[in-house]
Structure 1
Amino acid sequence: MSSRRIDGLPRSEVPAAFDVGASAYDRLVGASPGYHRQLRLSAARLELPRQGDGLRLLDAGCGTGASTAALLAVAPRAEIVAFDASAQMLEQARAKGFPSSVRFVHASIEALELDGPFDACLAAYLVRNLADVDAGLAKLHGLLRPGGRLAVHEYSVADSRAARAVWNAVCWSVIIPAGRLATGDSTLYRHLWRSVLAFEGAAAFRQRLAGAGFTDVGVGQMSGWQRGVAHTFTGTRSEAA
């Protein structure tokens, strides 16, 4: 999968599509049952101690800040650095009045220049939008301290015919029509549909995480309509790294 073109939009056009959808994004995802609760579940699966006291966390592909809020909910005492390639999505995030312990950075993962290490990282709905998944995982691995934890919150339906059927039905009955109605443009939402169908299965992605140097790789399920559709993939940077 390294150095691939996303089935949908070319990688270079994805941030611009999110710019177009930024003003309506929170309203649309807020209508999805369990959306914010499931992000908090993925953040909780990082198993951060002491409410994050003394920890430095990375929110990779933070969008409008929903994943940032999820990290803050489970680690209110942590320092959080959140980055995204879409300037308009970041503008929405910054307008939410996060505490001074949260810092937003406008950058793609390829151009990201941050000083590590971080104690943990949450990457929500980011990985399947990367032009080079292996390079992106290597970047996140390198930013973590030895023993640091990664949680990848991502859609993956390739391993289940039932999950693909649910995803197609939800996209064409709800997500794509609602996105077109809210923004006048369905480009982002068609990309969402296609990119999830093109993304590899959960078993293959667990192997990819192990290949990137993560240990104790696991996967957690979601509830509701997203069971078998959305997952939390977790891993740890080796203490020996």
Structure 2
Amino acid sequence: MPLLRDAELATAFDRASRTYDRLVAFNPGYHAHLRRSVRRLGLPDRGAGRRVLDLGCGTGASTAALAAVLPEAEIVAVDASAGMLERAAAKSWPPRVTFRHTSAERLAEEGVEGPFDAVLAAYLFRNVADPDRILEAVHELLAPGGRLAVHEYTLSGRPAHRTVWNAVCRGVVLPAGTAAGDGRLYRHLWRSVVEFDTARAFGDRVRRAGFGQVRVLPVPGWQTGIVYTVVGLRQDTPNGGAV
């Protein structure tokens, strides 16, 4: 079965939105890891005077992480799935958080304009057809020196980490998703990780898009070697320094 893309994937997320938060609750460290990735953006002063884009906000877990770590920032959260976005927007938020229904590919058409001081993209890039195009668009949306944090399932490349991911999916994720009536989506999410870049390869992809000071940082717990934060700074010359 090919991976789901574009409208088909958004529709699958629409359907899964009713149970998505309950399934996420079974994932140890899920919310703490998102907050860790927000802290890795390194924005000072609790985000005061900063404008941040939450790209692919889903039901709002990444938005909540941004709001917790950067309580003074203006946050614009977007998602392609109307169902997921409806769940997110229905939660309690401060006035500085706003939601927009659009895909990562159609930000400009839907009036989502920069400059942003930072972009967080959680669990997004392995689900888009053209990650290079999205990275280039994010680069343009950022102010000079603006910061990107990609929080993503992207395997280390070590066979042991791939084995853990497959075992967790077969033993937990797929049975739970199928029981909820969303087996097709969760099979996609499993395979999307296996078929996506390794963490190192994705870091190289971010550098090619014009980001400098790129770092590929693991998360702790069972997801070590499976989930990473890839961070970088907007720069206007290609192939800038990496640390």
User: What TM-score results when the alignment is normalised by the length of structure 1?
Assistant: 0.94
Identical pairs, percent: 56
Aligned residues: 235
Q: Give the Å deviation of 1:180.
A: 1.6
Larger relative contact order (CA 8 Å, sep ≥ 6): 1
Q: Deviation of residue 157 (structure 1)?
A: 1.6
Q: Judge conservation of contact 1:158–1:199 (CA < 8 Å) in 2.
A: no
Segments of 5+ residues of structure 1 without an aligned counterpart are 1-5
Confirm or deny that 1:221 pairs with 2:205. no
Using the alignment, how far apart are the partners of 2:34 and 2:169 within structure 1? 20
CA contact (8 A) 2:218 2:225 kept: yes
Worse-superposed segment, 12-21 or 147-156: 12-21
Query: Counterpart of 2:128?
Result: 130
* TM, length-normalised to structure 2: 0.94
Tell me how far apart the structure 2 counterparts of residues 239 and 184 of structure 1 sit (CA, whole Å): 46
Which residue of 1 is the match for residue 185 of structure 2?
188
Q: Distance in 2 between matches of 1:7 and 1:78?
A: 39
Residue 179 in 1 paired to residue 174 in 2?
Answer: no
SS at match of 1:196: helix
Q: Spell out, residue by residue over 1:183-234, the C-alpha distance to the aligned partner (whole angstroms, 9 max, x if none).
A: 2230111011000000011111111111000000001111111000000000
Cα pair 2:210 2:237 within 8 Å, conserved: no
- DSSP-derived class of the 1:110 partner: helix
One-letter code of the match for 1:212? A
Aligned partner of residue 157 in structure 1, secondary structure: coil
Q: Offset of 1:147 from its aligned partner?
A: 0.3
Cα RMSD for the two superposed structures:
1.4
1:92 maps to 2:87: yes
- Displacement of 1:239 in angstroms is 6.3
Q: Equivalent residues in 2 for 1:39-58 (5 A)?
A: 39-58=34-53
CA deviation string 1:29-53 (max 9, x = no partner): 1110000000000011001100010
Question: Match for residue 116 of structure 2?
Answer: 118
Give me the whole-angstrom Cα distance separating, in 2, the residues matched to 1:101 and 1:220. 29
CA deviation digits over 1:115-154, x for unaligned, max 9?
A: 2100001000000111111000011111000000000000
For the residues of structure 2 that align with 1:28 and 1:154, how far apart are their CA atoms?
A: 18
Q: Residue 3 of structure 1 aligns with which residue?
A: none
Structure 2 unaligned blocks of 5 or more: 239-243
* Structure 2 partner of 1:20: 15
Structure 1, 29-38 or 11-20: larger mean CA deviation: 11-20
Q: Which residue of 1 aligns with 2:241?
A: none
Letter of the aligned partner of 2:194 in structure 1?
L
- In structure 1, distance between residues paired with 2:163 and 2:31: 23
1:217 to 1:108, Cα distance in 2 relative to 1, 3 A: same
Give yes or no for contact 1:158–1:200 (8 Å, CA) kept in 2. no
Q: 1:125–1:153: 8 Å Cα contact kept in structure 2?
A: yes
Matched to 1:72, the amino acid is A
Tell whether 2:227 aligns with 1:230.
yes
**Residue 104 of structure 2: SS of its match in structure 1?**
coil
Distance 2:148 2:120 in 1: 6
Aligned partner of 1:163 in structure 2 is: 161
The aligned amino acid for 1:200 is D
Among residues 82, 98, 103, which one is paired with 1:103 in the alignment?
Answer: 98
Whether contact under 8 Å (1:146, 1:240) holds in the other structure is no
Q: 1:146 aligns with which of 144, 150, 164?
A: 144
Match for residue 29 of structure 1?
A: 24
SS of equivalent to 1:188: helix
